[in-house]
Amino acid sequence: MFVVATAGHVDHGKSTLVRALTGMEPDRWAEERRRGMTIDLGFAWSTLPSGGTVAFVDVPGHERFVPNMLAGVGPVPAALVVVAADEGWMPQSAEHLAALHALGVSYGLLVVTRADLADPGPAAARARAELAATSLGAVDTVAVSAVTGAGLPELRVALDRLAARLPAPAADAPVRLWVDRAFTVRGAGTVVTGTLGAGRLRVGDELELAATGEPVRVRGLHRLGEARSEVTAVARVAVNLRGTPRGRVGRGDALLTPGRFHRTDLLDVRLAGDPAAELPATLTLHVGAAAVPARVRPLGADTVRLRLARPLPLLVGDRALLRDPGRHHVAGGVTVLDVAPPPLTRRGAAAVRAAVLATVDGRPDLAGELRRRGLARAADLVRTGVEVTGRPVVGDWLADPEHWRRLGTRLGGEVARHAREHPLE
């Protein structure tokens, strides 16, 4: 299976397209169908010509529901950018594309809908030019009509080509399932859904809730509406949790492999977007399915420190998005550089920290982390996303070799000094 999210302006035919491809109704609420617009996330799936399966996360296009859109797009590796032939490029087309670019989404398709109502050429040309300047770059373009069915076979083939290009998921990676929906099923209890981007889930697994750290157990799993004993990434999955009240989990929470993630409310990030010095004091950080207010402290030209309103399970290298909800403005995408940064208490500490962060690229690096920290526990490094391959110097402590050598030299010097000053001891 591969998972793709829709993106595009309100009423450009995203849900109609998903309905035509899958034969399923992605809009779950009666209010959505009455108003003819998607308000919350919808889900549907279909079999492709290759025999593989594509699952769609259908997102709302209205500007009032951008947080819902970001909750759906955040964990998904590919996007279906939808533009209507009769209306062309519109304001929410631009904001959705800015969000995809900020999150670093680099796999996608451009679909021009309503090809039966207008020549799709002008809309396709404008949209391709807009996409080319972003992380998506050059993408396949397909013109379709959900009314006549024209272009739908070509779109299915293009989806197959997109699936073949996606990188293979890390099946043995720790699980971090961002929750985009939580509800209660009579006789079963609490069920949460999300996009499993890496790792595998099994019935009976013990996980932990990111919000509280409390343990939870998997009572049942569903994939594409069918019960499974095991689900491997990438997949849309529903997880039935044993003995967990519905009020304890909701959108923006996450199910985690125990001991593999650092829950943090303080992090240093690199910003690609607005200049760091021009950011407002408070923005909203969107990562996975979570949206959390964050206080912003600029450090360097493109580095900032974020203080979150609540802790999140983040790793070095995670991609996220900063948005100003008041202005409906995407301030930029961020790459997480450090999830356990040192305090900034001395005068000039921010400038010193910015100089350190300038040497960091957001890729987990054991040697670099040890060089910056001197000493660190192996378990703490694992929880930040760093692969530990070195041998501890004592217990589970790892050390930068040069720092360890200096400590040895200092120890010898201190012993010698003490012997001189206190010879009778």
Q: Is the pLDDT of residue 201 over 70?
A: yes
Q: Is the pLDDT of residue 323 over 70?
A: yes
Q: Please, which pLDDT band fits residue 25 given cuts at 50, 70 and 90?
A: confident
Boundaries of CATH 2.40.30.10 in the chain?
Answer: 176-256, 262-363
What's the pLDDT at 243?
Answer: 85
| The listed CATH number (1.10.1740.110, 3.40.50.2300, 2.40.30.10, 2.60.40.10) that belongs to domain 176-256 | 2.40.30.10
Average pLDDT over residues 353-362: 93
What's the pLDDT at 160?
Answer: 95
Average pLDDT over residues 384-404: 93
Its pTM stands at: 0.88
Average pLDDT over residues 59-86: 76
What's the pLDDT at 37?
Answer: 43
417 Cβ neighbours under 8 A, 6+ residues apart: none
Task: Compare 222 and 187 and report the one with higher pLDDT.
Answer: 222
Q: Please, which pLDDT band fits residue 66 given cuts at 50, 70 and 90?
A: low
Pairing of strands 290-298, 303-314: antiparallel
- CATH match of 2-165 with 3.10.580.10: no
Average pLDDT over residues 332-352: 93
Average pLDDT over residues 96-101: 89
Compute CA distances 87 → 19, 53, 131, 169, whole Å: 21, 31, 17, 37
Q: Which of 339, 340, 344, 366 is nearest to 355 (CA)?
A: 344
What's the pLDDT at 411?
Answer: 96
Q: Is the pLDDT of residue 177 over 90?
A: yes
Q: Please, which pLDDT band fits residue 29 given cuts at 50, 70 and 90?
A: very low
Average pLDDT over residues 6-17: 85
What's the pLDDT at 166?
Answer: 92
Least confident range from 71-80, 116-125, 251-260: namely 71-80
Q: Is the pLDDT of residue 38 over 50?
A: no
Average pLDDT over residues 32-61: 73
Tell me: the pLDDT tens digits for 130-176? 999 999 999 999 999 998 999 999 999 999 999 999 998 888 899 99
Average pLDDT over residues 343-365: 92
Average pLDDT over residues 303-324: 95
The average confidence (pLDDT) of the chain is 90
Q: Which two tokens stand for residue 258?
A: 């125990």
- CATH match of 262-363 with 2.40.30.10: yes
Tell me: the pLDDT tens digits for 369-379? 999 999 999 99
Boundaries of CATH 3.40.50.300 in the chain?
Answer: 2-165
What's the pLDDT at 26?
Answer: 62
What's the pLDDT at 40?
Answer: 58
Angle between helices 91-102 and 120-132 (to 10 degrees): 30
